[in-house]
Structure 1
Amino acid sequence: MDALIVGRVIAGAGGAGIYLGALNIFTAVCNPKEQSIYLALMGTVFGTATVLGPVIGGAFASSSATWRWGFYINLVIAGVFSPIYATSLPSLDPQRDVSIVDKFKQIDWLRCLLNAAIYAAWVIALTFGGAQWVWGDGKTISMFVVSGVRVFVFALQQYFACMTTPRQRIFPVDFRKIRSLLLLWLCICCSSAAQFISIYYIPLYFQFTTEDSALHSAVRLLPFICTWFVSVIIAGVARPKVGYYIPFVLTSGILITIGGALMFRIKSTTSTSSIYGYIGPLKVAMNSSWGPAMIQDVIGFMNTVQLGSVVHALAISGTIFQNLAFRNFKNSLGQMGFTDAQLHQTVSGLKSDVLVDETVTVKELAVDAIISDMGHVWILIIASGCTLVISSLFLKREKLNFSAK
């Protein structure tokens, strides 16, 4: 397990480098009109890979190849595409006279460390709070306090540019004075939250209600992704023609609110076709809330929330679901002799005696309780959509110049 954790940390660092590197290349070689399309496609690939990953990994795990090929496949992909990248990608070096050692020294290493430390304490508090630790336990409280202190230190470090320079700090503090950038920062947060909560909990719904395998439940997201892909292409082409970004943010907020409200109403007996219909507005809305085409100075600012909001959204939604579902289970099934460990396993989606060995009545009670509690998660999506709508009303009413070179 230790080797798996360390390996995933290294792989995550590499994946982040590939993603941010691609964004920088697009912004450097494309004009604003092209950026709108290519950056939209980049976001689509990012989200599509998030869904296809479990599908491919599940296929490997259920075959004679074993789960290890879920990791080995990356070596194959790297071997096939590395020669193409090495020979085809443009050589972009804005600091040709600076050595590699000096470039490494320019990186805001303290900010990177503080950012990781903030997420670690915050996620630990939310993950273990209520599940393994009592909310009032000293360990839970200490994690929240540590997270808050680290946020404060992070803010001071970025504001005063400690161990870095105003030009090299990752989080451009000066952008806090630009209203539209702050609002778009919030909009991306809400859009990313709605996107990944849907990607995570829709397969989970099918696993509980239809007893789908992890592979089959992930496959059910493919219609979601196909519609999402088409809507992103349309939005990417339409943005330069429309010029204004407010209509896209407003439309996205309305659709996310509608989709979240519809999903809030689902029950364990809701048909699959109805589920697909309910998530329709969410499919169309996910990537239409992006504002102006990014420039290199904005990438770090926006990606702080684009990637970070995924962590926050899944941690908060997971805490809500786990705690409410366990409490509901405790009240309705606790008298039947189930242990807390068995109830936690059921809520986590693991193989559990509650869903495997018990009577149909117990299974129905358990599934109904789970789906009822899952409805509270969709409130976060409704709140995200409403925030997008409200934010769009205060964005600067400007028409972007996509013809600039």
Structure 2
Amino acid sequence: MTLDAEVQIDRKVKKYGGHVSKGDVESTETTGPDNLESDWKPTKESIAKDLNGDATSTFWVGSAYLVPSAGFQPIMASFSDVYGRRRVLAMALALFVIGSIVGCLAHNMATLLAGRVIQGIGGGGLIPLATIIITDVVPLRPRPKYAALVQASMALGTMLGPLIGGAFLEHTSSSTGWRWVFYINFPLSTVAGILLFFSVRFKRGGAQLRAVDWFGQALFLASISIFLIGLSWGGVQYTWESYHTLVPLCLGVGGIVATVCWEILGTEHPFVRISVLQDRSALAVYAGSIVQGILMYGELYYISVYLQAVKSMSAVMTGVGLLPVSVALMPTSIVVAIFISKTGRYRWALWFGWAATIAATGVTIILDSDTNTASWIFIFAFVGFGHGVLFNALLISAQASCAAADAAYAASMYTFFRTLGFAIGVIIGSTVLQNFMSMKLHELDLPTAIAQNAEGFIETLKTLASGSALREGVLTA
């Protein structure tokens, strides 16, 4: 299957009568919206200690960003059709900065989480619009090369985030170290804003304000948020049989179904283009994007738990331990993009990428306290390699399976489903970790309450005497 056979491309960039610098897109992405969680893992314990956060609020330091980031992506893409790419991108960047200001000034968990939510809304615009702009101005055949630059920027942020976050913790005072994770966004966002002002020259979108599906967007955002909240509570804060868990899960699913029905039957201007979702190939790609997001963030987010808890690494060394993932992901993504661009074929990358990703995910099961350094470095690099192959293959296949006029929207749907997978991956990973750890601790006659705040127990674990029953039991669990 070739790209040329599937999609006829107008090779002249004329739709918006302007230009975009690839540097602007790269800078926006490197600022961190798509990989903001990478530098949070080593800092959450410090935040919880400084702001007196409990296990639930500490967990939501990560998810408070991911949930609105996922939910707002289709909405921001829809707004960009009305107000233009540049205006919405600038608004998203402003929201991201405002959220960073709120976060760095926070003196309690509620304020911090509010800042993270605002950051997430901003990220909901930055993430898809970087891809949409590339789709607008670059023909499909050479597009993988430009998309690879964005993916490489994301990988660079993933690589540097844990190192920077860990360094802030170890080389600044305990009361302010975690705030530098917010401070660093300001110079990066300034650079992105300058490039945005001088590089992006798009005319206002052609759609009208009355074409915005306000009800559908509100229903969708509420439904997806309620569903993810219920998912995060299951087996952790409440049992799976509890109405506290079942009610939000059922309401969320029902709301999502109602949103789909509304988009098909209830509005003339749906913010979800049903035509993009009617193709079976596109549906398979979007499903794959969710699965990849779940696997990637489920692995990345909790590999750091393994390094800190089982391998007793410091915050900085945890960042170093995550480098094999990014070092493998970044060049792999670029090389695959070049091959797709030159050959016009992408199905081989999908098959090979999924095979490698599934194999790498399976191999992580052998990680334990006795795994030597060379082995876990190889496993982490294998994980990065598999995801690196899939990144651009999924994006290009999503765009190739739809009409040329829907290519930009298909790109935004890809980033939405991938980010939704990120959010679900973190939530499921936390739930699985705590539930299985509780079960194992119960089998060993150890306090199961440790599992309810497993991440917060890491620093205590490091102080326990080597060989003690509690330490060995927790490591085994």
- Match of 2:316, SS? helix
State how far apart, in whole Å, the 1-side matches of 2:345 and 2:319 are: 36
Identify the residue that residue 188 of structure 1 maps to in structure 2: 289
Residues 374-389 of structure 1 mapped to structure 2, 5 A cutoff: none
State how far apart, in whole Å, the 2-side matches of 1:298 and 1:239 are: 18
Identify the residue that residue 202 of structure 2 maps to in structure 1: 91
Answer whether contact 1:37 1:236 (CA < 8 A) is retained.
Answer: yes
Answer whether contact 2:328 2:385 (CA < 8 A) is retained.
Answer: yes
Answer whether contact 1:170 1:300 (CA < 8 A) is retained.
Answer: no
- Match of 2:204, SS? coil
Answer whether contact 1:40 1:287 (CA < 8 A) is retained.
Answer: no
Identify the residue that residue 385 of structure 1 maps to in structure 2: none
State how far apart, in whole Å, the 1-side matches of 2:212 and 2:163 are: 36
Residues 186-335 of structure 1 mapped to structure 2, 5 A cutoff: 186-289=287-390, 290-291=393-394, 292=396, 294=399, 295-334=407-446
- Match of 1:262, SS? helix
State how far apart, in whole Å, the 1-side matches of 2:421 and 2:475 are: 29
- For these two proteins, the number of residue pairs brought into alignment is 354
Matched, 1:46 2:158: no
State how far apart, in whole Å, the 1-side matches of 2:295 and 2:144 are: 21
- Match of 1:288, SS? helix
Answer whether contact 2:325 2:382 (CA < 8 A) is retained.
Answer: no
Identify the residue that residue 122 of structure 1 maps to in structure 2: 227
Candidates 167, 178, 185, aligned match of 1:67: 178
Residues 144-155 of structure 1 mapped to structure 2, 5 A cutoff: 144-155=249-260
Structure 2 residue identity aligned to 1:364: E
Structure 2 residue identity aligned to 1:361: S
- Match of 1:333, SS? coil
Deviations 1:103-137 (A, max 9, x none): 4x433333333333233222322322222212222
State how far apart, in whole Å, the 2-side matches of 1:66 and 1:303 are: 31
- Evaluate the alpha carbon distance shift between residue 265 and residue 342 of structure 1 in structure 2; reply closer, same or farther with a 3 A threshold: closer
- Match of 1:270, SS? coil
Structure 1 residue 352, shift from structure 2 partner: 6.2
State how far apart, in whole Å, the 1-side matches of 2:159 and 2:434 are: 22
Identify the residue that residue 377 of structure 1 maps to in structure 2: none
Answer whether contact 1:129 1:140 (CA < 8 A) is retained.
Answer: yes
Answer whether contact 1:127 1:315 (CA < 8 A) is retained.
Answer: yes
Please give the TM-score of this superposition, normalised by the length of structure 1.
0.80
- Evaluate the alpha carbon distance shift between residue 296 and residue 80 of structure 1 in structure 2; reply closer, same or farther with a 3 A threshold: closer
Deviations 1:300-351 (A, max 9, x none): 33233111111122222221221011111122133xxx3x433423x23534
- Evaluate the alpha carbon distance shift between residue 193 and residue 87 of structure 1 in structure 2; reply closer, same or farther with a 3 A threshold: same
- Evaluate the alpha carbon distance shift between residue 38 and residue 206 of structure 1 in structure 2; reply closer, same or farther with a 3 A threshold: same
Identify the residue that residue 17 of structure 1 maps to in structure 2: 125
Identify the residue that residue 350 of structure 1 maps to in structure 2: 457
> 5+ unaligned residues in a row in structure 1: which ranges?
370-405
Answer whether contact 1:253 1:285 (CA < 8 A) is retained.
Answer: yes
- Evaluate the alpha carbon distance shift between residue 13 and residue 32 of structure 1 in structure 2; reply closer, same or farther with a 3 A threshold: same
Answer whether contact 2:131 2:147 (CA < 8 A) is retained.
Answer: yes
Deviations 1:215-255 (A, max 9, x none): 32122111221111100110110002222221000001111
State how far apart, in whole Å, the 2-side matches of 1:349 and 1:273 are: 28
State how far apart, in whole Å, the 2-side matches of 1:83 and 1:115 are: 33
Structure 2 residue identity aligned to 1:30: V
Answer whether contact 1:192 1:286 (CA < 8 A) is retained.
Answer: no
- Evaluate the alpha carbon distance shift between residue 80 and residue 280 of structure 1 in structure 2; reply closer, same or farther with a 3 A threshold: closer
- Match of 1:68, SS? helix
Identity %: 21
Deviant stretches of 4+, over 4 Å: 351-355
Task: Kindly report the root-mean-square deviation, in angstroms, between the aligned alpha carbons of the 2 structures.
Answer: 2.3
State how far apart, in whole Å, the 2-side matches of 1:205 and 1:357 are: 17
Please give the TM-score of this superposition, normalised by the length of structure 2.
0.69
- Evaluate the alpha carbon distance shift between residue 250 and residue 327 of structure 1 in structure 2; reply closer, same or farther with a 3 A threshold: same
Structure 2 residue identity aligned to 1:264: I
- Evaluate the alpha carbon distance shift between residue 267 and residue 306 of structure 1 in structure 2; reply closer, same or farther with a 3 A threshold: same
